[in-house]
Structure 1
């Protein structure tokens, strides 16, 4: 297998960022075999024949194929299930029109945000050598020990939280990851997730476990191959036993990306994320933004927004503050603590 540029499809592949994965991994963009390239052609052709016209670009085809070990039939079913869910859930409408106006209030009881980037390998394919570590994937952080579900339920609903989660996954795909790819000069398709378990006592572990299981279903089934690394830090005593149960619901490839660390997490975490790229609460510095790498996402370039879906209205009891979640060109590369507050991305997913 040799490193090569992906063969771009004239109808579906419209990329304005690098399309070669930074490390040599079989089945990843730029590192495919002839058999894997044939699988891309076969999957796309079968989906076209089934009437699908969107999301048939090469990078997407490869993500679904990798998620199903290049079993074309299994990847086709996964894609079809995903498209059915997108239609039923109204994803395309939500990403354009959803307004999570209660975001700042939810953040008080469930802090979650994007904060700078991790370290990415810069690999020179011409000489087959690792040259340096550069700014890489978006770093997504959640402080699970501060979750107060009763308080959150007075502000918003489970359905709106799930809608926000899905919208943030869409924003991760575009514009966040393309912006990171432009800046690093190499394709980046995944994120680095840090789940802070500080304050999660043994009695609260089951509720956190339930949350992880619920949200991981969305990411694994409908947003495959988006997790680069996950660090569960400040893990309390007994959490490892609970997590051993959680692992049973995850793909083995996903499990390999997850690191469970105690209070002495920094030495291990700093191998992946520079100290200056961590927020102060985790021993780092302040948020930062680099708008020059950001471009409007493709879904925002399709014309005027459609009428808002009925479900985008908050409950009357919420009384939210006005905080816009609509993406704009001036947003930072991955958003800071303020830009990403209440981001709501599901923490798990291969």
Structure 2
């Protein structure tokens, strides 16, 4: 059954998960619905009023096996981190003019969708050259960009994909290209990757749909077999480790026309796929202004009652880059 709606549930996209998985929207039990209400009530008592919608709370509860106390701790820790990191303001104001130069040494980008309609996220780990990147940008700005992109995954990317697919999509399909990654390069990137991974796992739960590690070097699968014994089986089932002969399996998940040519697809975006940010979130039929932008706009309109200023605010917001 569907989890009960609340005053926080203001959605303009489908809210039923396509597959009947326990604890997923549209497929919850009465006991799970009760835990959503319990978690929401306890967080309200602590003074929280943002991100208390049912879909968000279900993600935290699933991440903690519907242990309300553990999910509550995770939520509180996340809100503390968001405040310290300045996430809400960051997503509205962050500018990354060095992106094209940074991508020469660490391409990481969203590009179109897989066959399930989810956003495809691509990283080329073998291209990482932190020494070169830190002449262009800083580790802090790279993490700020990462967080901004996570916020934009939540809105507008996933809502647009959900509208186009006609079903709720809460996760993305990730492709990590390990070509060129060697033992000598691992230590230099470990610190950044560890920070990035911690942000993902701790503060953006239940966002991984499938993970394809392609061009995995010899011995990688064996090492992973040792590690996966410590991982949640649900997570292990999402991970696919593929060598250089990855194309057939990858194309079973991502349509050729959506997969960049360098990975065996047929897509050749004008100006390069890495910087195109192509996807339903850019298509007028499915895209809507993210709520975090509308909130900023509304705040400015309240402050500026002059209609001319209101129009100026709207124009400025519409001109903000989407990636």
TM (normalized to structure 1)? 0.79
Count of matched residue positions in the alignment of Structure 1 and Structure 2 = 296
Q: Give the corresponding residue for 2:74.
A: 78
The yes-or-no answer on 1:188 pairing with 2:169 is: yes
Q: Give the corresponding residue for 2:268.
A: 286
Q: Give the corresponding residue for 1:142.
A: 123
Q: Which of residues 31, 34, 40 is equivalent to 1:38? A: 34
1:308-327 alignment, distance < 5 Å? none
For residue 255 of structure 1, report the CA deviation from its aligned partner: 2.6
The yes-or-no answer on 1:8 pairing with 2:5 is: yes
Q: Give the corresponding residue for 2:13.
A: 17
Q: Any unmatched runs of 5+ in structure 2?
A: 270-277, 301-315
For residue 267 of structure 1, report the CA deviation from its aligned partner: 1.5
For residue 291 of structure 1, report the CA deviation from its aligned partner: 3.1
Query: CA distance change for structure 1 residues 248 and 171 in 2, over 3 Å: closer, same or farther?
Result: farther
Does the 8 Å contact 1:205/1:242 carry over to 2? no
The yes-or-no answer on 1:296 pairing with 2:289 is: yes
1:230-269 alignment, distance < 5 Å? 230-243=211-224, 247=228, 251-269=232-250
The yes-or-no answer on 1:87 pairing with 2:64 is: no
Query: CA distance change for structure 1 residues 273 and 209 in 2, over 3 Å: closer, same or farther?
Result: farther
For residue 241 of structure 1, report the CA deviation from its aligned partner: 4.6
The yes-or-no answer on 1:60 pairing with 2:56 is: yes
Secondary structure, aligned partner of 1:108: coil
Secondary structure, aligned partner of 2:157: helix
For residue 199 of structure 1, report the CA deviation from its aligned partner: 1.5
The yes-or-no answer on 1:225 pairing with 2:206 is: yes
Query: CA distance change for structure 1 residues 98 and 248 in 2, over 3 Å: closer, same or farther?
Result: farther
Query: CA distance change for structure 1 residues 185 and 42 in 2, over 3 Å: closer, same or farther?
Result: same
Higher relative contact order, structure no. (Cα contacts within 8 Å, ≥ 6 residues apart) = 1
Task: Quote the Cα distance in structure 2 between the aligned partners of 1:194 and 1:327.
Answer: 31
Secondary structure, aligned partner of 1:21: coil
Does the 8 Å contact 1:294/1:330 carry over to 2? no
Provide, for residues 235-263 of structure 1, a one-character-per-residue CA deviation record: whole Å limited to 9, x for no partner. 11132355457657754432321111100
Query: CA distance change for structure 1 residues 242 and 161 in 2, over 3 Å: closer, same or farther?
Result: farther
TM (normalized to structure 2)? 0.85
Q: Give the corresponding residue for 2:273.
A: none
Larger relative helix fraction: 2
Secondary structure, aligned partner of 1:70: coil
Does the 8 Å contact 2:2/2:28 carry over to 1? no
